Structure 1
Amino acid sequence: MRRKTKEIQCGNVMVGGNHQVSVQSMITSDPRNISSAVAEILRLEEAGCDIVRIAVPTMESAKNIYDIKKQTTIPIVADIHFDYRLALESIKQGIDGLRLNPGNIGDEERVRKVVNQAKKNRIPIRIGVNGGSLEKQLLEKYGHATPEALVESAMGHVRILEDMDFDDIVISLKASDVQLTVAAYQLISKKVHYPLHLGITEAGTVKTGTIKSAIGIGSLLLMGIGDTIRVSLTGDPVEEVYVGKQILKSLGLKQGEVTIISCPTCGRCNINLIKLADEVERKIGQLKKPIKVAIMGCAVNGPGEAKDADIGIAGGIDSALLFKKGKVIKKVPENEILATLLYEIEKM
C-alpha cells in the first residue's frame, strides 16, 4: 500500500495524497533562449511529462519565465541555487514551483522573503539533497555520504521552512548509488509526511541510467514510497519521460494509457516481430486509452499467455492471428498486420 502523504499542488498537477505518481523531467535548454526552451517543454509535454524543471542561473532566465509559460501549459519548476533574488523573480514571473534548499540562499531575512512570497502565491518548494553535495559538517560527521547524512541534511532545510510556518514541501534525497538512495528514502519516509520526489541522480546514459533508475525508483515504489519521479539520463529528456512512464506502467501506477506487452521471439517466430513491436509502440505509445495490447510471436505465446490483453496478435507463417481477450477474431496476412491492429485499436 502506498504511503499517505500531504497533498501539494504544483500548477494544475497534484502531488501526494491519493493522486497518481507524476513524471517529471528537466529541459537542457538555457531559459535565456525562450524559443528553444519552449520547444523542448512542448516536446516533453507531448511525451507525457507531468511537471518540467528549468535551471534558472541568471536574472535574465528568471525574467523569461513569464514568456515561456505563456506558450506552454505544463507546470514549470524553477531550479534555484544560492541567489534568493532569482527565486523572488521566478515567483513574480508566475513559476509553479521552486527547487531550492533554504539553507543555501542566504541569511534568515533572505529566506523569509522567499518563503513569504511562496506562501502568498501558493508555490511549493522542493528540498533537493544530493549525495555529491552534502554540507561540509555532515561529511565530517559521517565520513562520507550515508543515508543518515542525506536525511539529516534534508531535515535541516525542512526545519528552516517549518519554523517560518511553511509546509508546502516536497523532498528528494538523491545519489548515484542505488542502495544508498533507497536506504535514505526508506529512512526519511518514517520521519516526515511530505511528498517524496524519487530519482537516482547522475544515473548515466540512456541504457545504463534506465536500468539503475528502474531498479532504484521501482524498488521504492514497490515499498509504497514515492509521489513523483524523475529519471535522470545523459540524453534526450524525452527518454526520461518514456522510462518514467514505463516504470509506473510496469507497476500498475499509471492509469488511463495504453500498455504494450510483447514476447522476446524465438525460432518459432515466422514474422518480423521486432520491427512490428517497434512500429506499434511508436504509433500508439502515447495513446490515452486504458487498454493492453499484446504483440506475440507464435501460437505458444499467443492468445493463451496474453489472454488478459484487450487486443493482440499472434504470429503464424507469414501471417498472424488477431485476438481480443484471448478469443481469435481472424487471420491477417503479414503485410496487413500493423494496419489491421491499428484500425482495431482505433475502434476500441
Structure 2
Amino acid sequence: MSVRPWRDIERRKSRQIMVGNVPVGGDAPIAVQSMTNTDTADAKATLEQIERIAEAGADIVRVSCPTEDSTAAMKEITKFSPVPIVADIHFHYKRGIEAAMNGAACLRINPGNIGKADRVKEVVQAAKDHGCSMRIGVNGGSLEKHLLEQYGEPCPEAMVESALFHANILEEHDFQEYKISVKASDVFLTVAAYHGLAEATEAPLHLGITEAGGLMSGTIKSSIGLGNLLWAGIGDTIRVSLSAEPEEEIKVGFDILKSLGLRHRGVNVISCPSCARQGFDVIRTVEKLEKRLAHISTPMSLSVIGCVVNGPGEARETDIGFTGGGTGKDAGMLYLGGVPAEKLKNDDMIDKLVQLCEAKAAEIEAAAAAAE
C-alpha cells in the first residue's frame, strides 16, 4: 500500500513502442513533445528551433512534411537532431515514404485525409522497411466522410471507430509499432473519445486537445482535458497544442505532469497569490525566480510564501523555502530541507535562493551519478 493512496495514479496498461530511442507506453515515463513551425525545407532554421524545444525538455519533436523539399530536408534534420523526429503527413502519402527513407523515427498519418487504404498500406511498408513507428492521428475536424454521414457529427464513437479501423489495417500487415490519438478542440469530445479508445485497445495513446488556443486559454483547456485523462491513468505521450512558441508547450506539458506527480523536471515553485500580509512583493519575486531558475532541469521544490500563515508549513514539504516576515518587515526565514536555517533580508532573497537551487541541483546530480 502507498503511504498516500489518494495521490496514486494507476496507469492504464499499454504495450510499449519505440520512437527512435524514446520508449512510449508500458512503464516508460510519459513523453512530452511539441512541433516546429518553421519551413521544414529550411533545415538550418528547423534544427535551430528543434534545439530550443529540446533544451526546454522535449523528448520528441514533430515536423510537418507537406512537400518533397521538406522530406528531402529530413535527411539533414534527423541526422543532427538531438531528439527523435516525427514526420507529420497529410494528404500526400508519398511524403510518408520519403520521410521514412530519410530518417524519421515515426510517421504521423491522419486517416481522414491521407486517402485510400492501399495508400496507407504503402506507408506502413515504408515504416517497416526503415524501422519507423507510426501514429494514427484521428482529428475531430477531419473525420472520414462516411463516418460523418453515419453519425451526423464528430462524436466519440466515430473517432474511436476511425482509429480502430486504421489500427486494424496496420495489424493486418503485421505492424504493431503504432500509437493512436483521437484529438478534438472540444474538451468533452476529446476526453470521451480517449476513454472509449482506452477500453478498446492496448496500443499506447498520444494525448492532446487540438487547436486549444493561445497561451492562457489553451493552457487551461489542455490542463482540464489532459489532466482528466492522466488522472484516470490514460496517456503515454502528450502534446499541448498552443498558439504560442513551441517551448511554451513543453513547459505547460511538464507542469501538467508535475502537478499530478507523473514526471518531474526543474524547480517546482510553490508560491502564494500574495495579499496584504505579504512581507515582500511575492508576484514580482516569483516572476524573477522562474526566469532565473529556468536553466535547472533537476527536479526539486522551492516554496516562496509571503507570510507566516502557511509559509512554515509549506517550507516543511519543500527542499528550499522562504517565508516572509510580514508587513513592514524587511527580512524573512530561509528553510533548508524543511528546517529553519537563517534569517534572510528580502533584498538578498532572490540571489540566495538561486544560488541554493543551483547547489541543490549539483548535489542531487552528484548523488545520482554516484548511485549509478
Change (3 A) 1:223 1:108: closer
Change (3 A) 1:10 1:40: same
Structure 2: which 5+ residue stretches go unaligned?
A: 1-9, 361-372
Which of these residues, 190, 194, 199, is aligned with residue 185 of structure 1?
194
Change (3 A) 1:104 1:205: closer
| CA-CA distance at 1:49 after TM superposition | 1.1
| CA-CA distance at 1:109 after TM superposition | 4.6
- Decide which moves more: 112-121 or 267-276: 112-121
1:296 aligns with 2:308: no
Partner of 1:44: 53
Which of these residues, 111, 115, 123, is aligned with residue 132 of structure 2?
123
The residue type equivalent to 2:156 in the other structure is P
Q: Secondary structure at the match of 2:161?
A: helix
| CA-CA distance at 1:106 after TM superposition | 4.5
Percent identical across equivalent pairs? 48
Write the mapping of 1:74-223 to structure 2, written as runs, cut at 5 A. Answer: 74-101=83-110, 104-223=113-232
Partner of 2:357: 345
CA distance in 1, matches of 2:130, 2:12: 28
CA distance in 1, matches of 2:27, 2:60: 18
CA distance in 2, matches of 1:192, 1:173: 13
Q: Secondary structure at the match of 2:312?
A: coil
Change (3 A) 1:212 1:38: same
Which of these residues, 331, 346, 366, is aligned with residue 319 of structure 1?
331
- Decide which moves more: 226-235 or 93-102: 93-102
Structure 1: which 5+ residue stretches go unaligned?
A: none
CA distance in 1, matches of 2:56, 2:265: 15
**TM-score of the superposed pair, with normalisation by structure 2:** 0.90
The residue type equivalent to 2:98 in the other structure is E
Contact kept? 2:254, 2:264, Cα under 8 Å: no
Change (3 A) 1:202 1:105: closer
The residue type equivalent to 1:312 in the other structure is G
Change (3 A) 1:280 1:176: same
Q: Secondary structure at the match of 2:287?
A: helix
Contact kept? 1:48, 1:286, Cα under 8 Å: no
| CA-CA distance at 1:286 after TM superposition | 4.5
Partner of 1:228: 237
Partner of 1:6: 15
- Decide which moves more: 263-272 or 67-76: 67-76
- Decide which moves more: 269-278 or 241-250: 269-278
Partner of 1:241: 250
Contact kept? 1:147, 1:181, Cα under 8 Å: yes
CA distance in 1, matches of 2:311, 2:118: 66
Instruction: Note the alpha carbon deviations across 1:24-78, whole angstroms, 9 max, x for none.
Output: 1111111111221111111101111111111101001000011122332111100
Change (3 A) 1:252 1:54: same
Contact kept? 2:191, 2:225, Cα under 8 Å: yes
The residue type equivalent to 1:53 in the other structure is R
| CA-CA distance at 1:305 after TM superposition | 3.0
Instruction: Note the alpha carbon deviations across 1:288-342, whole angstroms, 9 max, x for none.
Output: 3232111111111212233110111111222221102331101111111011112
| CA-CA distance at 1:262 after TM superposition | 0.7
- Decide which moves more: 189-198 or 65-74: 65-74
Aligned Cα root-mean-square deviation (Å): 1.5
Partner of 1:61: 70
Runs of 4+ aligned structure 1 residues displaced above 4 Å come to 106-109
| CA-CA distance at 1:123 after TM superposition | 0.7
Contact kept? 1:258, 1:284, Cα under 8 Å: yes
Partner of 2:370: none
The residue type equivalent to 1:118 in the other structure is A
Contact kept? 1:31, 1:64, Cα under 8 Å: yes
Which of these residues, 73, 98, 102, is aligned with residue 82 of structure 2?
73
CA distance in 1, matches of 2:135, 2:356: 44
Contact kept? 1:200, 1:216, Cα under 8 Å: yes
- Decide which moves more: 278-287 or 134-143: 278-287
| CA-CA distance at 1:179 after TM superposition | 0.8
Contact kept? 1:6, 1:16, Cα under 8 Å: yes
Contact kept? 1:258, 1:286, Cα under 8 Å: no
CA distance in 1, matches of 2:186, 2:84: 29
Contact kept? 1:44, 1:241, Cα under 8 Å: yes
- Decide which moves more: 205-214 or 29-38: 29-38
Partner of 2:26: 17
Change (3 A) 1:146 1:243: same
